[in-house]
Chain A
Amino acid sequence: MHHRFAAKLATACALSLAFLWPASASAQGAEPVCNKCHEESNDSIKSTPHGAKNDAAGKACQSCHGDATEHVASRGKKPLADDKMAKAKTPDQKADACMSCHAGNRQLAFWESGKHAKNDVACSDCHSIHGRNRGPQPAIHTTSQRPNEADMCGTCHKQVRNATMKPSHHPILEGKVKCSDCYNPHGALSQAMVKHETVNQQCFSCHADKRGPFLFGHPVVEENCLTCHTPHGSSHNKLLNEKVPNLCQDCHVQGRHPTAYYGQNQAWILANGNPNTPTGPSNRFVYRSCLNCHNAIHGSNAPSNRGRYLIR
């Protein structure tokens, strides 16, 4: 309780001091010359950090669109000499223009090593510097009005966009999980640009109850969550790659009960609708199948064979 109070007090103090910090005025307090012709473009950035850094000469405008001296002198008759955002520029050239200012951003520390940089993704592919006002947001699955980040990422990652709409999914469409909660689109050194070092560390950052260490572990779980789960969406419960018991039996096909239900007096409902056994279908098919008994599939703290077989 004391910790919570201290945390809130510290937060309140930090924010209060933050407001009082003598920040330097970065804006020059004048309308950029570009506004005379490109009023709409200027309107779109004047309330943004770019606008705050602009000046009468259009410093912020020219940092992206190149030297406008002749363009202004000719009253727009001469095109911009080196518009870094021109359509003819390659994605890396456009990214270079942004990086000329933003390279010092901690989020961009690994931009050059990331997959987006290597796959012709320019900053402007995702960031709309002169974007339109935020209008009504389509939200078919959600009551949220926030822009859905997955809509943006989904324009390229079509497979992922469709996966998020499957019956089992993270609350992405509902606006409670964003792509950037797990990935750093600005570059990372980890596989698939996840934020943490490994996939499991990434999953455990939210699912802390799964991280163990457990008395009895499940090696596949400890090595890679993705062996069984697909994070973006699945037709199977619990974001599983495949339906149980099939998924389990792709590895556990030894004797005894994992496969016994294929045999006599086990499980099957015959074509005539009658069970193959007078005692009814096997409970190894019911509901969660293997997980009916092996519920502690991520690891168990139960002693002896109860834990060894992940059944308590």
Chain B
Amino acid sequence: MTIMNKKLISILIANLFIAAPVVAQDTFKLEGSVSLGGVSVDDGDAVDAAKLNQFRDLSDGGLLGFDLRGRSARYWLDLFGENVGRDDYYVNLRGGAYGAFKYRLYSDQLKHNFLFGGLTPYANAGGTNVTATLPNTNTATWNAVDIAYKRRDTGAMFEFQGASPWYFRVDGNQVEQSGNKLGAASGGMSPGNGMADIVFPTEFSTRNASVEGGYAAKTMHFSVSWLTSKFENDNEVVNWYNGYFKGTDTVYLPFDNKYSRIAANGTIRKLPLGSTLAVRFTKDELESDGFLGATVLGANGASLTTLPNADSFDGKVENKTFTVALASTPMRGLDTRLYYNKIDRDDKSTHVTFTGTASSGTPYENEPYSFERDNWGVDAYYRVNRQNRVGVGYDVLDIERHRFDFDESKDKRWFVEWKTSMLDNVSARVKYQDLTRDSNFLLANDGTGPQDVAYWNRFLQAYDAANLDQKSWKATLDFSPAEFLDISIEGITKENKYRDMTLGRLKDTRREVYASLSYGNPDTARFTVFGDVENVKYDSRHRVVGAATQTGARPGDPSHRPELQLGRHGPRQELGLRRGGRLPGHREADGQGLRRVLQDRRLARLRGALGHRGGDLPAGGRQLRRLQAHLVQPQGHLRVQQVAEHHGGLRLREVRLQGRAGRRLPLRDPGQRRGGQLHDGLPREPAVQGEHPVRVRDLEVLKKQAGFTFGAAPSGAALFLADPGSRIMARWRPTNPSRGCARSRKTSRRF
């Protein structure tokens, strides 16, 4: 555990002591548990041990956790900690006084593991000067590297409510990310020039602070807030040896940036027609300052000039948003909502043009990107009777972009839904939504003819802004055939058709079914099974430029069609150009999707030999089936899960079994048992005038745990043991400030 966190915990403990005399005036009962255990994981056979440990610390060692709750008539306190001293620890203290203030102090850390035991020909991987002597195909001489980073978020919050309805709140946190991640860079300026994997350092620090003040009453709420966030990157460039250009090259990482925002919120309730008016305005500014590289590496180690027309880059983006919503109940059973959102993004960053020898005669300039979004809509829900409710809605989104291919688009969306519970123990909901997008494509008439290279542009549209017809259905059925038994089924279909598309994504479809069955008796156990089937499919079209003859499959050969559908990552049905006219050099593709999958798998083995971890799963569409059984009862739980994923020829299966047994002792209330003075059911001590009596502070282990987890594919096992014997009493003896020492009575809950 770092020094910083030790200090943090010291502060937490110090405050508990400070609280002692105050709390003592008002009996403060503390209860909770302490867990001690260990973990041992055998991941030797794991397919990918880094994935098994992706966000967790499963290294062998002890486990320490605590969970304390303190309550009195005035004050409350929650202290929770788990995995203390490990890479994925979490410590959280919350507390406050009812109606006066509340606070929080926390520290949360995770470790994101990407790769264990990788190999690289580069020395100092993860540093800022990465060197190598290339070519080097002898992997025995390569260097080992683990790719991972730790991310620790430490923060605090304080909110003062003592002058209610006025309130004041301060938040602050610091996120530190330390480690590395995998990146890459091209060798030359063409794919044929190769590329290199480079481990980039991620020494990031982000400090956030916000202040908010406002008025929060039942009928209205107003607040003003200010937020600032500063991101710092310790390493803004990485120098690495480029084997293709034969020299030291440079990769640029994110510059430091600073973000600030002011926001004003307002809500007024109890307006005519049962209305509530809500308004929000925000204005933010994002800045980054960086240098402009004067040279870049060229072929044979040459240094090429960039000749920017500015001394430095001053990034600056301003966003303004305004939102207003009026929710009303104009008549019994009818709920309506009118809303309007506006977002303006104004990129005021330095416009830079590069004209040096690196540009080879072509000036390169950046394109600061701005846009405006106007969105308005209305929806209404009418409760026909207690069992039936219908809803309709209409929404318009107007976007003006300062983009080279589209300058404007308008989305019109409407929906209708019906929710019913007419049948006993059955609840159902059906919703249909339709969306139409009309965009203005600026390149529709580009190029003077087939011999003009710009002629291609008219056939290329980015699907994120292209004309679109979208239809989606969603149906949900919840059924309770017997007491404590719930069955739920949900189906979703969605289809996007991109109109007027010649090349690129043509459409995508989604079919999903989710089902779950749950039995839960509050007095005994809860049992849940759920599963789903998903089928997602993307269709797109591509052109091919090549010679007239090709080896392998022939264009348009129907015999290759099934392979094509299987392989192209499942979904892409067509690679050839079939409409929109024949373009110069056009050929229909042979589309050997299945072979691509085979290739992917083969390359995965190759990557293993080179020390690279397997990359993406070879699927664009997928079928996912999952079955999970889950039993929970007060004494423990048992979960069995089976997952099967089908990715265009590749199947993944996973079976997991996990269980844990424990016993939580009932919450004891000695005050009631002894017939003492009751105070919300809590024992009350008589306050002594002029004296701070020793407060009640003991920790009692209420939970015994013994359990296990077992997983296969990736394999791993974890054993958790806590409090294996009888009940453990852990006592805490704080020093009494007024008496200088603490007294203990073993059989009592009081000191």
Quick one: which of A21, A140, A211 contacts B231, CB cutoff 8 A? A211
> In the complex, what distance in Å separates the CA atom of A49 from the CA atom of B292?
57
Q: Give 1 or 0 for each of B340-351: 1 = CB within 8 Å of chain A CB.
A: 010101010100
Give complex CA distance A120, B428 in Å. 12
In the bound complex, do residue A251 and residue B321 qualify as a contact, i.e. CB atoms below 8 Å apart?
no
Is B578's beta carbon under 8 Å from chain A? no
Beta-carbon contact of B191 and A49 below 8 Å: no
The interface bits of chain B over 156-184 (1 if a CB of A lies within 8 angstroms of the residue's CB, else 0) are 10100010110101101011000000011
Q: Pick the contact of A8: B7, B71, B192 (CB < 8 A).
A: B7
The A140-166 residues at the B interface (CB cut-off 8 A) are: 140-146, 158-159, 161-162, 165-166
Contact (Cβ within 8 A) B643 A259: no
Check A176–B88 contact: CB distance below 8 A.
yes
- Residues A220-241 near B (CB distance < 8 A): 220, 222-224, 227, 235-237, 240
Within the assembled complex, what's the spacing in Å between the Cα atoms of A117 and B35?
40
Q: Which of B119-127, B535-543, B739-747 contacts A (4 or more CB under 8 A)?
A: B535-543
Known: A24-B99, A306-B358. Is A214-B218 also a contact (CB below 8 A)? no
Report the bound CA distance from A201 to B568 in whole Å: 34
- Tell me if B98 and A19 are in contact (CB < 8 A): no
Query: Chain B 481-494 against A: per-residue CB contact (8 Å), 1 yes, 0 no?
Result: 00000001010100
In Å, the complex CA distance between A286 and B637 comes to: 43
0 or 1 for each of B574-595: is its CB under 8 Å from A? (1 = yes): 0100000000000101111001
Contact across chains for B98 and A52 when beta carbons are under 8 A apart = yes
The bracket for how many chain A residues form the interface is 35 or more
Q: Are A271 and B552 in contact (CB under 8 A)?
A: yes
Interface contact B39-A235, CB-CB below 8 Å: no
> CB-CB < 8 A to B637: which residues of A?
136-138
Query: Is A83 an interface position by the 8 A CB rule?
Result: no
A192–B112 Cα gap in the complex (Å)?
28
A213 adjacent to B56 (CB under 8 Å): no
Report the bound CA distance from A283 to B54 in whole Å. Answer: 27
Q: Which of A11, A112, A113, A198 contacts B11 (CB 8 A)?
A: A11
Q: How far is the CA of A31 from the CA of B96 in the complex (A)?
A: 23
Q: Are B615 and A158 in contact, CB atoms less than 8 angstroms apart?
A: no
The DSSP consensus for interface residues of chain B is: strand
| Of A43, A106, A190, A287, most B-chain CB atoms within 10 Å | A287
Chain A interface: which of B132-140, B254-262, B726-734? B254-262
For A212, give its contact among B54, B112, B286, B664 (CB under 8 Å). B286
Among listed A62-70, A72-80, A295-303, interface-contacting one: A295-303
User: Across the interface, do A303 and B308 meet the contact criterion of CB distance under 8 Å?
Assistant: yes
Interface assignment of A116: CB less than 8 Å from any CB of chain B: no
A8-B11, A23-B99, A250-B504 known; A243+B88 contact, CB < 8 A: no
The reply to whether the CB of B609 lies closer than 8 angstroms to some CB of chain A is no
Provided the pairs A110-B278, A118-B335, A198-B321 are in contact, do residues A26 and B290 lie with their beta carbons within 8 angstroms? no
Q: Which residues of B contact A237 (CB under 8 A)?
A: 615-617
CB-CB under 8 A from A90, the residues of chain B are: 383, 386
| B634 on interface, CB distance cutoff 8 Å | yes
Q: Which of B366, B462, B543, B600 contacts A259 (CB 8 A)?
A: B543
A27–B73 CB distance below 8 A: yes
The answer on a CB contact under 8 Å between B462 and A251 is yes
Given A11-B156, A165-B626, A222-B369, residue A19 in contact with residue B22 (CB < 8 A): yes
Are A301 and B460 within 8 A (Cβ)? no
Contact between B278 and A140 (Cβ–Cβ < 8 Å)?
Answer: no
Chain A residue, CB-CB nearest to B502: A253
Q: Check A254–B269 contact: CB distance below 8 A.
A: no
B530 to chain A, nearest CB (A): 8
Complexed CA–CA distance, A151 and B590 (Å): 46
Within 8 Å by CB of B603, from A22, A23, A287, lies A287
A306 touches B296 (CB 8 A): yes
CB pair B296–A47 under 8 Å, yes or no, is no
Residues of B within 8 A of A286 (CB): 603, 607
* Shortest Cβ gap from B734 to chain A (Å): 14
How near does chain A come to B405, taking the closest CB pair, in angstroms? Answer: 9
Are B595 and A189 in contact (CB-based, < 8 A)? no
A12–B543 Cα distance when bound, in Å, is 65
Report, nearest first, the 5 A-B pairs whose CB atoms are least far apart: A263-B546, A213-B315, A23-B97, A293-B186, A27-B73
4 extra interchain contacts, Cβ-Cβ under 8 A, other than A11-B105, A283-B192, A303-B358?
Answer: A18-B101, A213-B288, A287-B603, A301-B252
List 21 contacting pairs A-B, 8 Å CB cutoff, sorted by A.
Answer: A18-B103, A22-B100, A48-B71, A52-B73, A113-B327, A140-B639, A143-B83, A174-B56, A205-B229, A210-B254, A219-B401, A235-B619, A235-B624, A259-B542, A276-B552, A296-B252, A301-B252, A303-B308, A303-B358, A305-B360, A307-B364
